Structure formats: C-alpha cells, structure tokens
C-alpha cells in the first residue's frame, strides 16, 4: 500500500500543524491577558480614552417646572 510509505510524513505534518495552531492560540491568550493588565493599569492612573466623555453626567429627572 502506498499510504504506508508516507505515514511518517503525514503524521509529522499533522503534528506540526497542531503545534503551530496551539502555539498561536497560547500566544494570543497570553497577549490578551497582558493587554487587559495594561488597560487596568492605565485606568488606575486616570488615563481615559479620547472617545469616552471626560466626565459622564448621570441622567437627571426633569423638575416639576420643566415637565
């Protein structure tokens, strides 16, 4: 059978593909945690995003005169 001659290559190719995908997945997960820590540190120091309002105002109910 011809496939038996190439079984080592096939197993090695699948193993390499699984290792690469697993490595990339681990890298993304670790980077995600690092970025969350960096964002939390910036928020703790008072840095805000430019797109966020500087001081969000709480919604207020209209007074009797305004209603």
CA–CA distance from 16 to each of 13, 29, 52 (Å)? 5, 20, 44
First to last CA, the chain: 87
Residue 53 pLDDT grade (very low, low, confident, very high; cuts 50, 70, 90): low
Asked if pLDDT for residue 42 goes beyond 80, the answer is: yes
Which pLDDT belongs to residue 31? 98
Cα-based angle 59, 52, 58 (whole degrees, multiple of 5):
10
């Amino acid at each position: 059978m011809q496939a038996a001659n190439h079984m080592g290559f096939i197993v090695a190719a699948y193993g390499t593909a699984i290792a690469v995908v697993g490595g990339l997945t681990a890298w993304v997960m670790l980077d995600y945690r690092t970025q969350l820590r960096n964002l939390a540190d910036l928020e703790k120091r008072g840095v805000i995003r430019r797109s966020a309002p500087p001081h969000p105002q709480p919604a207020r109910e209209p007074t009797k005169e305004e209603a």
